Structure 1
Amino acid sequence: MNENVRPSSRSRTVMTEFVFPTDINSHGTMFGGTLMKYIDKISAIAATRHAGKPAVTASTDSMDFLSPIRMGEAVELEAIVTWTHRSSMEVYVKVYAENLLTGDRRVTVTAFSTFVAVDANGTPVPVPAVEPETEEEKKLFESAPERYEMRKKRRKQRFGSTN
């Protein structure tokens, strides 16, 4: 296997959680912050799997809430590395809610984050390229450079630098 290129499946990570009363806000739906914590955690695992090195959060580009999640449902998060640059990795997360009694499932959230692989001193280190395998992964891979350029532009506008 070429260690400079790794398949998307190497990073694939799945996590399932029950939604309990302590996870619910005053609207009777899951706290967005709780879900954001899960998304960051699963993204870090996927990025670390891909890089084979520790990975830290660099940014969360988008988090689209599509459908509310209710108490008693299960949430299933699936993360994959969709694209890499020198030391950075784009991670895509899709969140499903499932009524465990009926089996009904729906996509509730999608999110993109960027992680950077680091060495023991916290210095960014190169990561392998990613090879998409499924049609969805190929579409995400093809559209990733545009998202990368948008991240650079946003960072430059905010901080005056693209580093």
Structure 2
Amino acid sequence: MPTVHDTHIQNRFLVHPNHANSNGVLHGGNLMKWLDEVGGMAAMRFAGETCVTAQINSLAFERPIQIGDTALVEAYVYDAGQTSVHVALRAQRENPRTGETEKTTESSFTFVAIDDDGSPVPVPDLSVETDEGERLRQRALEADY
């Protein structure tokens, strides 16, 4: 049975000028793509199956990420249904020179596990075996998604 900790993934994306919008900061669509990719990886790690995006439950852009900063994207599974996987996502602006971070975005996506024919398949139960896993799960459940 997969645990919250097993599904926890962090990835970094350096923000280049081609990722920017007309305001000179990271385009929200690029960040959404990165959230979807990292969230999908967490869902697939949990389900052991291909997972596709079913729903963006919430997405709150709190502050921008500047060109030259790193977008630090964190994802983990916090709940599951019969074929669905609920993934909490958070993005932070990270200064690549100092490592200083600041939360910029919080989100929740739902993915569905599918077989080779594209039909939904069952997913396992989620296990929480560590204090850190429980803290992450509670953070997601208490968030205003």
The verdict on a shared fold, with TM-score over 0.5 as the criterion, is yes
The share of aligned pairs that are identical, in percent, is 33
Q: What RMSD, in angstroms, separates the aligned Cα atoms of the two structures?
A: 1.9
Aligned to 1:47: 43
Aligned to 2:96: 100
Aligned to 2:17: 21
1:120 and 2:116 equivalent? yes
The structure whose Rg is larger is 1
The structure richer in helix per residue is 1
- Which residues in structure 2 correspond to 1:27-66 (within 5 Å)? 27-66=23-62
* Cα shift readout 1:1-60 (whole Å, capped 9, x = no counterpart): xxxx32111111111110001111111211000000001111111100000011111000
Aligned to 1:9: 5
Q: Which has the higher contact order (CA 8 A, sep 6+)?
A: 2
> Which deviates more from structure 2 when the two are superposed, residues 123-132 or residues 106-115?
123-132
Distance 1:18 1:9, change over 3 A: same
Q: 2:66 aligns with which of 67, 70, 88?
A: 70
Gaps of 5+ in 1: 148-163
* Cα shift readout 1:96-145 (whole Å, capped 9, x = no counterpart): 1111233321011111000011111111111111123424323146559x
Aligned to 1:137: 136
Whole-Å separation in 1 of the counterparts to 2:45 and 2:3: 11
Whole-Å separation in 2 of the counterparts to 1:19 and 1:95: 13
Secondary structure (helix, strand or coil) at the match of 2:57 reads: strand
Normalised to the residue count of structure 2, the TM-score between the two structures is 0.90
Contact 1:21 1:71 in 2 (8 A): yes
Normalised to the residue count of structure 1, the TM-score between the two structures is 0.80
> Runs of at least 4 residues of structure 1 off by over 4 A?
140-144
* Aligned residues between the structures: 142
